[in-house]
Chain A
Amino acid sequence: MDPKNLQVLVDVNLKSVAWFYPELWLIFGSMGVFILDLVWRKNRGRVRLLAGATLIVLACSGAALAMQPADAVSLFNGMIATDSFANFWKWLFLAAAALTVVISSGSQEFAPERIGEFFALLLAITLGMFLMASATNLLMIYMAIELVSMVSYVLVGYRRADRKAHEAALKYVIYGGVASGVMLFGMSYLYGLLGTANVTEFAVKLAALSQGFAGAAPGAAAATKLALVLATVFVSAGIGYKVAAVPWHMWCPDVYEGAPTPFTAFLSVGPKAAGFALAIRFFFGAFAGKMGATGLADSVAGIPWPAVVGVISAVTMTLGNLVAVVQTNLKRLLAYSSIAHAGYMLMGLAAVSATGMQSVMIYSAIYLVMNLGAFLVVILVAQSTGSESIFEYRGLARRHPVAAVAFAIFLFSLTGLPPFAGFMGKMYLFYALFERIGIPGGGWYATLALIGALNTAVSLYYYARIIRAMFLDPPYEKAAPVEASPGGQLLLGAFSAFILVFGVWWNPIVNWSARSLQIFRG
């Protein structure tokens, strides 16, 4: 290579570092926590010290994120891009990681001598999610997904000599390996057909490819179209697996049940949100034309992709909700509920509009708080009773009123009832659909909205079952008393306050997400 060109490449990389400080903090912070874990091996307050160090790393990363220049730029020769869209998700990931650190430092599921590894690996996952939100190159997308997945496999099997944990980790690693293999194969065809691995160039190349169909022999055009459709489906499989959409959801309940509960909580909000960030950047940014246009429908081989996403969305929420109805283990129930919520968020993706994108962002932010809150109650109850069965929740209102009331707030919010924040999130998802009903051929959006509304009714049934057990059923005579530390109660109160406040005063989230719609487009 010409030395002058090489110099340009190196200069670009060096310049890019200025936008890369948040990630650098996470990289070196993760290593630092591993070292501190060894330094403080015999220290009696090591859980607190390590949790504090991890929180400081997250705070430094957040400070670097806040000071980042606001302009959308491409970094490292087109590998990643930073824009306000990526920054929005990065704040969510930092919040999810920080809350998980707080929750798990008070949980007894982690032995104090091994909690340092957990914190350090959690920082590594956060780094992976950061890269997922800003990746603009096929290679970077693959590497970011693998970073998140591979560390997740390890943390799911964290509990030693636990048959459930190992089985969950095994199922996760097999499903994950297959999903990433399928996605990579799809990427290889996208690369071959479009001649570039840079996602921001896809829209132009796709248009050129589609133009070529007219002049080509019918057989060749059909073959190219088939390859393009297969490649898109394969890449979607990798993303669908990350957000746990049907038919790539099979790992979800088993993994959620086997993993340590604080990590389950993290999995249900962090990597899922990262999957949506990636999906939005990939499909809206690369395949759709200008924001708000229906370009996506025509650009990829004449297949109505928004309708395909709509069908996946409908199937995902219906299956998640129907199977959740018969669950008695709360972790499994919340796993199926999280599948259903992925279905709701896919409604926003199916709308293929700026509003749709914004609604997914709003819902992810609210879902983060309400789902972490729900899992926090599950952790507190399991710590006192040793079980996640729904029968342990009988009479919780008398055994621990604060936890019962908070749990009721989270469950009503997950259902999407006013005046809780979940209602506002769901309202925006439906609004994004209603906006699209009027466009030509958009009648199916009404059907999707109807299915979404019916699903909300089904979900009320199983959420209300828990609430009935807590408030109406009498406790068992020998039921263990439920105890929560002051910190845990404070956290429950903070989560509930968030849900209640943003249920009636939602302008800050809406404005923030509206400001964050800027996507780097090359």
Chain B
Amino acid sequence: MTISANWYLLLAAVLFCFGLVGVVSRRNILVVFMCVELMLNAANLTFLTFARQQGTMNGHAIAFFVIAVAAAEAAVGLAIVIAVFRTRGTLWMDEVSTLKN
């Protein structure tokens, strides 16, 4: 039995929405970063689905690059989180708010 491509697209869309809602609503910085990763992987899944459907290689290649970029972004992001934690002792978004109008 093969599963139609639309189900994969639907799964990716749902994952993307989870990620987007999580970024907006969650207040813990680490959870926010996890939600960003979720969005990137939703995009990856869409790329792979379309690549399989059309039988082209571009989508597969893009997914590999995105994985590498996401890893680099996580490294930079976590380094910044550690720096913030050192100066403030909190991972709570609402307490990181010195800069405002």
A221 at the interface (CB under 8 A from B): no
Q: Which residues on B sit within 8 Å (CB–CB) of A196?
A: 58
* Interface pair A153/B76, CB less than 8 Å apart: yes
Q: Chain A contact residues: over half helix, strand or loop, or mixed?
A: helix
Cβ B43 vs Cβ A253 within 8 A: no
Q: Specify which of A142, A153, A197, A254 is in contact with B66 (CB 8 Å cutoff).
A: A142
Cβ contacts A132-160/B at 8 Å (1 or 0 each): 00000011001100100010011001001
What size tier do the contact residues of chain B reach?
Answer: 35 or more
A143 partner, pick from B65, B79, B81, beta carbons under 8 A: B65
Q: How far is the CA of A258 from the CA of B87 in the complex (A)?
A: 14
B47-70 to A contact mask, C-beta < 8 Å, 1/0: 101100110101101100110010
Q: A173 contacts B62, CB within 8 Å? A: no
When the two chains form their complex, are residues A197 and B62 in contact, meaning their CB atoms are under 8 A apart?
yes
A332: contacting residue among B20, B32, B69, B101, CB under 8 A? B101
Q: In the complex, how many residues of chain A place their beta carbon closer than 8 angstroms to a beta carbon of chain B?
A: 45
How far is B61's CA from A138's CA once the two chains are assembled, in angstroms? 12
> A146-197: which residues lie under 8 A (CB-CB) from chain B?
146, 150, 153-154, 157, 160-164, 166-171, 173-174, 177-178, 180-182, 184-185, 187-189, 191-192, 195-197
Pick from B32, B40, B59, B100: contact of A184, CB under 8 Å: B40
Residue A326 interfacial (CB < 8 Å) = yes
Which residue in chain A gives the minimum CB-CB distance to B49? A192
* A168/B99 contact (C-beta < 8 A), A174-B36, A188-B46 known: yes
- In the complex formed, the residue of A with least CB distance to B38 is A181
- Chain B residues with CB under 8 A of A83: none
Give the distance in Å from the alpha carbon of A191 to the alpha carbon of B49 in the complex.
11
Asked if B46 contacts A253 (CB within 8 A), the reply is no
Q: Does A472 contact B (CB under 8 A)?
A: no
A128 vs chain B, min Cβ distance (A):
12
User: How many contacting A-B pairs (Cβ < 8 A)?
Assistant: 127
Q: Is the CB of B80 within 8 A of A139?
A: no
**Least Cβ–Cβ distance between B49 and chain A, in angstroms:** 7
Min CB–CB distance A240 → chain B (angstroms) = 16
Q: Return the CB mask of A192-216 against B: 1 if under 8 Å, else 0.
A: 1001110000000000000000000
Q: Which residues of A contact B98 (CB under 8 A)?
A: 163-164, 167
Chain B residue, CB-CB nearest to A163:
B87
What is the CA–CA distance of A150 and B40 in the complex, to the nearest angstrom? 15
Question: Is B50 a contact partner of A192 (Cβ separation < 8 A)?
Answer: yes
8 A-B pairs with the lowest CB-CB distances in the bound complex, closest first: A181-B39, A192-B50, A188-B46, A177-B36, A184-B43, A254-B99, A185-B43, A197-B58
> Chain A interface (Cβ within 8 Å of chain B)?
138-139, 142-143, 146, 150, 153-154, 157, 160-164, 166-171, 173-174, 177-178, 180-182, 184-185, 187-189, 191-192, 195-197, 253-254, 257-258, 323, 326-327, 332
Q: Which residues of B contact A (CB under 8 A)?
A: 9, 12, 16, 19-20, 23, 29, 32-33, 36, 39-40, 42-44, 46-47, 49-50, 53-54, 56, 58-59, 61-62, 65-66, 69, 72-73, 76-77, 79-81, 83-84, 86-88, 96-101
* Sample of 18 A–B contacts (CB below 8 Å): A139-B61, A142-B65, A146-B73, A150-B72, A153-B80, A168-B99, A169-B80, A169-B84, A170-B29, A174-B77, A177-B73, A181-B40, A185-B16, A185-B46, A188-B50, A192-B54, A197-B62, A257-B99
